[in-house]
Amino acid sequence: MTDADPVLTSFELASESGRDITADAYKRFYAHCPQAREVMSHVDPHMQGRMLEEVLELLMTPDGEVEDGQIAFEMSNHRSYGTSPDHYRPLLEAVRDTVAAEMGNDWNAHFAEAWEQRIATLLGQIQEHV
């Protein structure tokens, strides 16, 4: 399979199950970042879905195409709720791991490498606003 954006392709393949990945992504996130559960204790499932939608949008945007202003806005917005910069890696990795689980045997090193690059790019942009 050749594709221009393996991260986007992985989302497409994961979506074939028809399942909503929100609950699984947050379960993984809280397992890897328990302090985030406290920060998000006031957030209902509907809002969690909306927040994850923003994360998915960032992850689906090709490397180098996420506007710096968008990252700055999200960082400023979430800082006011007590979000730590240390929360972002576990969240992005939780989404990756959830997508990988949904893909099952279709997940491979090609996808893993593309996800690592996308996460590293986003974390680099986030670091610029810490």
Number of domains into which the chain is organized: 1
Q: Which domain holds residue 39?
A: 6-127
Give the pLDDT band of residue 40 (cuts 50, 70, 90): confident
- C-alpha 30/C-alpha 115 separation (Å) is 20
CATH number at residue 63: 1.10.490.10
Q: What percent of the chain has pLDDT over 70?
A: 94
Top-confidence residue, 48 or 15: 15
CA 108 vs. chain centroid, Å, equals 18
pTM of the model: 0.88
* Cα maximum dimension of the chain: 43
- Quote the mean pLDDT of the chain: 87
- C-alpha 126/C-alpha 16 separation (Å) is 31
In a domain? residue 1 = no
* pLDDT tens for each residue of 80-126: 666 777 889 999 999 999 999 999 999 999 999 999 999 999 999 88
122 CB-near residues (< 8 Å, 6+ apart): 58, 59, 66, 71, 88, 92
3-state secondary structure of 109: helix
